Homo-oligomer: A and B are copies of this chain.
Amino acid sequence: MSEYLHDEPVVPRTDDEKEKLMNRLKRIEGQVRGIQNMVEEDRYCVDILVQISAIQSALKNVGFSVTERHINHCVTDAIQKGEGDETIQELMDVLKQFSK
């Protein structure tokens, strides 16, 4: 049993949605490997830090896209069924964690 209210979104992601998310995540994966190369090449610390913050901002944007879709589908669905409370609480918990 998942610790979350659902195992998957109430409306499945379309192939197009999946592809867009995957492209962004593949780019982030590439950026992480880029930093590994910088460490191997013993690159300057500030240069590495700038790359890390670029990844953080890319990740944050992916997070906001996932959040927006979640509210548009799962939260909206729960509210329309009159079951919004739990889903909103779950959303708030993850927003707080996401903002640390």
Contacts and interface: CB of A to CB of B under 8 A. Distances in A.
Contact of A49 (B46, B47, B66): B66
A92 to B, nearest CB: 5
A29 B94 CA distance: 22
A57 B60 CA distance: 12
Contacts of A33: 29
Interface in A33-55: 33, 35-36, 39-50, 52-53, 55
Given A9-B45, A36-B22, A40-B22, A92 B64 contact: yes
Quick one: copies of this chain in the complex? 4
Majority-rule SS of A interface residues: helix
A67 B59 CA distance: 20
Contacts of A13: 39, 42
10 contacts: A8-B44, A18-B39, A22-B36, A45-B66, A49-B63, A49-B67, A49-B98, A56-B98, A79-B79, A99-B99
